Structure 1
Amino acid sequence: MTLKPAPAGVWFITSAHSPARFPAAHGCGADVALVDLEDSVPAAVGAQARQDAAAFFIAPAAAPVLGFRISSPTTRDGIRDLAAVADYPVRPDIVLIPKTESPRDIEITAGVLDAPGYTPHLYGLIETPRALEDLPSIVRAPRIAGVLFGTADYATATGCTATWDALLYARSTLVTSAAAAGIHAIDSPFFDLQNHEGLRREAERARDLGYAGKCCVHPRQLPAVTAVFTPTDAEVAAGRAIVSAAQEAGDRIVKVAGQMVGPPMVKAARALLSRAEDRTQHEVTA
């Protein structure tokens, strides 16, 4: 099977316990749509949700990249989840692994799911102090594609408040480790569904910190997060001007709009233009 690329941008999570919401998740406009078998599914209906989740991946061709949050692979439910996914007629492009605390969690998941013609993108959900301590080895696991920050569990485990300032060290450490390993870091959802300004501000801060995207837990959050992680027309124009000026100067340091521009700025401008192109292609195919 041919996997879709694992994109950055906006991720949307819906519960496997509510299959009636699957079509809305497919058409929500996110870059990635995940079906969840962990926190959002009551234990009493886990087996039924595991069965229902198979339908999530039988989706229209225009659907986003589709993923699956399993339970921790070191638990009974996680083992059942992995066994179920391995037998689905259509399998997910992305598998999100909660409570990732060592490369072993990635290796277990890959060991069960990898098959001829199928090696899903594996993302580690970093949500414990132990995971933060072992980040250098986790982000360099051979099969890892990216990491996602889980603020709710992390705040509970440390006893800190789930505020930006209290979680800044953990957020910064995670995005730095991911960048060092050359993989994506995706920011946690924002759980106050009524605080639209707070959502926008947190998304901007995560973007400015270096996160490649952010999760959403409700469709009403998608427009704000999409806007934050989509380069503006002015940013695209400035990026093109920087790249063009650098090319004309033979990649030497050059002045653009009154600022000195060297190789790091040119690299950043090219990355921004690449994100803008990816967003345009996503909108065309959505």
Structure 2
Amino acid sequence: MNTWRKLRRTILSVPANNMKMIEKSAGLSADIIMLDLEDSVPLSQKDEARATAVKAVNSGIFSGKTVSVRVNPTGTAQIYKDIIALAQECRGKIESVIIPKTDRAADIHFAEGLLRSVMAESASDELIYIEPSIESAEGLENISEIASASALNISLVFGIADFTASTGGRLTSLSGHGENDESVYPGHRFHYVMSRIVSTARANGLYPIDAPFGNFRDTEGLKKSCLTATALGFEGKWVIHPDQIETVNSVFAPSQEEIERAGAIIQAYENAGSNKAGSAQIEGRMIDGATLRLAKLVHEKAELMKNV
């Protein structure tokens, strides 16, 4: 279970077979750079992409950055090569591996077993964590078991396009998360799966991470998608284009007004305690435990943003 905090507003997906794009990503303001060995890399280039990712991670260009790598799915020959190479050559330089198309707890048991067996050969105590990606109806049905399958799990990721395909739904945009949904479904058709990912992740001390928004030219649509995700409790969101970073970072960060209000709530609660008052209030409203916890979360994120 994850026991530390860092900003995870934006996770920028970068094809691992494109060194030019990798080098550019190192200078961008995404909180996390995710090097992709899976969908964005043709089968014929898997070995080259893996070598490029390892080279980039060890080059020093990501100094001060958090880096994760999306490996190939369980059941493929590539995942063995991916995890072994990353665990042997990138330990201490990447935070996690994302396991795509996680359908059952056994997928995470496999990834953990392979990771730990390779890490055991090293004297380093640095860990490589795991991020299961929920991309199917089967994965959603098994989400509680997946979330609790490993102490190395740190997040649950929503893989929206493959999830839609698994349910037989209709894609209305490149990623399935987006601009034309209301024309085919009056309401938010992914509300159930998103809510379930959030509640399961939070119940297990993990970070819920939302799927990307497909149309990188539609800033208003992206903002709306982010607002929905933050309202449900997502910690951050994948982005597929540098132009999306600023909007997503902004929406997933507390506003100055929210920060000031959180500070006032915390101060009022502390003052009530020092004055031995039976309760605390602000602006004529009682401060209960839930309100205080929410205020502390805002304060915590504001503190993390000071280091950006």
Alignment TM-score, normalising by the size of structure 2: 0.86
1:252–1:56 Cα change, 3 Å: farther
How far off its partner does 1:136 sit?
A: 1.1
Q: What amino acid sits opposite 2:126 in the alignment? A: Y
Of 138, 148, 153 in structure 2, the residue corresponding to residue 140 of structure 1 is 148
Listed one character per residue, the Cα deviations across residues 218-243 of structure 1 (whole Å, up to 9, x for unaligned) are 00000000000111111100000000
Whether 1:149 and 2:158 are equivalent positions in the alignment is yes
Q: What amino acid sits opposite 2:107 in the alignment? A: D
Distance 1:51 1:60 in 2: 16
Q: Which moved more, 1:138-147 or 1:84-93?
A: 84-93
Which residue matches 2:173? Answer: none
Q: What amino acid sits opposite 1:200 in the alignment? A: K
Unaligned runs of 5+ in 2: 171-175, 182-186
SS at match of 1:57: helix
How far off its partner does 1:252 sit?
A: 4.9
Distance 2:61 2:76 in 1: 33
Which residue matches 2:279? Answer: 253
Whether 1:77 and 2:100 are equivalent positions in the alignment is no
Which residue matches 2:67? Answer: 66
Matches within 5 A, 1:81-120: 81-88=82-89, 91-114=93-116, 115-116=119-120, 117-120=125-128
CA contact (8 A) 1:86 1:112 kept: no
SS at match of 1:72: coil
Which residue matches 2:40? Answer: 40
Distance 2:284 2:217 in 1: 42
Which is higher, the Rg of structure 1 or of structure 2? 2
Percent of aligned positions that are identical: 27
1:89–1:177 Cα change, 3 Å: closer
Q: What amino acid sits opposite 2:133 in the alignment? A: L
Root-mean-square deviation (Å): 1.8
How far off its partner does 1:166 sit?
A: 1.4
How far off its partner does 1:92 sit?
A: 1.8
SS at match of 1:165: coil
Matches within 5 A, 1:203-214: 203-214=226-237
SS at match of 1:166: coil
Matches within 5 A, 1:1-286: 7-58=7-58, 59-60=60-61, 62-88=63-89, 91-114=93-116, 115-116=119-120, 117-142=125-150, 143-161=152-170, 162=176, 163=181, 165-250=188-273, 252-281=278-307, 283=308
Corresponding residue pairs, total: 279
What stretches of structure 1 move > 4 A for 4+ residues in a row? 4-7
